[in-house]
Amino acid sequence: MRIMKSSIISGLIAGFFASIVGFVTSVIHVTNLGLTYAFTPVPNPSITDLARIELSLGIIWGMIWGILYSKFHKSIPGKGISKSINFGLIIWLISWGRALLFWSGYGFVFESIVAGFFRILQMIVFGLILGYLYKPKK
């Protein structure tokens, strides 16, 4: 039970900080680059809605990924923090590949590629913090 609690708390904290990075990169993505979210008829979310979305999803997925990290810890390549960064990059690759395939079908290839490269920063931060906080059972 201690390991489960440790992985959930570590994932929650890592997800919180990763969602802050996700929020900043989303603001850059939407405002500074002039890119819109997937459906152009739908207006872009406000900054407060964007923050709410990023924080809630970051925390929820952070806890889920923290649990998965504890379950697959031994099989992830690397040692120490590099192991958790590898885990974050594996998550990024899977989720980006899924999103790229999905949005490419609707003609949003460029937006998917740009969003994926912004999200890599988020997953590196997630991996760094998760690796620092999570201590596996010896």
Q: Give residue limits of the domains in the chain.
A: 2-133
Q: Pick from 34, 47, 18: which is nearest to 121 by CA? A: 18
Chain segment 23-80, per-residue pLDDT in tens: 888 777 666 655 555 445 556 667 788 889 889 999 999 999 999 999 999 999 998 8
Query: Which position has the token pair 């906080």?
Result: 133
Which pLDDT score, from 0 to 100, does residue 34 have?
A: 56
Which pLDDT score, from 0 to 100, does residue 95 have?
A: 87
Name residues whose C-beta falls within 8 Å of residue 2's C-beta, 6 or more positions apart in sequence. 137
User: Is the model more confident about 70 or about 116?
Assistant: 70
What number is the average pLDDT over the span 96-119?
81
Q: Cα separation of 40 and 77, whole Å? A: 40
pLDDT at 21 over 80: yes
Which pLDDT score, from 0 to 100, does residue 37 have?
A: 53
Task: Output DSSP code: residue 107.
Answer: T
Which pLDDT score, from 0 to 100, does residue 2 have?
A: 64
pLDDT at 83 over 90: yes
pLDDT at 91 over 90: yes
Position 104 confidence tier, pLDDT thresholds 50, 70, 90: confident
Compute CA distances 10 → 3, 29, 37, 38, 131, whole Å.
10, 28, 30, 32, 9
pTM of the model: 0.83
